[in-house]
């Protein structure tokens, strides 16, 4: 009687088909997860740049004096910790629009 030393062709094909089905199921889930994490990171980076612009405006370092005027601040002017790059590339032409309005104070 012969000893069986390996797998038959049918067994190998069955394993390959099962792996193929698992890959068809897994690949869309993984790509969606990667896309969602990139979007989330991009939004967090944009929020950090906006927060940095808000801090500059509140500190009075931008010299805004015209009421009702819109100022465009380049993102390169805002120094932040992690906001120099996004998952989609560098922020090369990003601007933050700031509308300067006086707030009426009542005593």
The domain total for the chain is 1
Is 35 contained in some domain? yes
Q: Where are the beta strands (DSSP E) in the chain?
A: 70-74, 85-86, 89-90, 95-99
DSSP state at residue 97: E
Distance (Å, whole) CA 48 – CA 31: 26
> Using one digit for the tens of pLDDT, what is the confidence trace for 66-97?
777 787 877 777 776 655 566 666 666 777 78
In a domain, 70, yes or no: yes
Residue pLDDT, tens place only, 39-65: 888 788 778 878 887 787 777 777 766
Tell me the residue range of the domain where 13 lies: 9-99
> Between 81 and 36, whose confidence is greater?
36
Q: What is the pLDDT of residue 106?
A: 65
- Domain membership of residue 65 (yes or no) is yes
Q: For residue 104, is it within any domain?
A: no
């Amino acid at each position: 009687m012969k000893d069986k030393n390996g797998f038959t062709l049918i067994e190998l094909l069955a394993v390959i088909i099962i792996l193929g089905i698992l890959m068809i199921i897994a690949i869309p889930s993984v790509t969606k997860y990667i896309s969602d994490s990139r979007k989330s990171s991009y939004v967090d980076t944009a929020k950090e740049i906006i927060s940095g612009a808000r801090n500059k405006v509140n500190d009075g370092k931008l010299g805004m004096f015209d009421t009702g005027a819109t100022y465009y601040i380049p993102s390169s002017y805002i120094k932040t910790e992690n906001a120099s790059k996004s998952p989609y590339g560098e922020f090369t032409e990003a601007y933050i629009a700031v509308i300067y309005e006086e707030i009426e104070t009542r005593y």
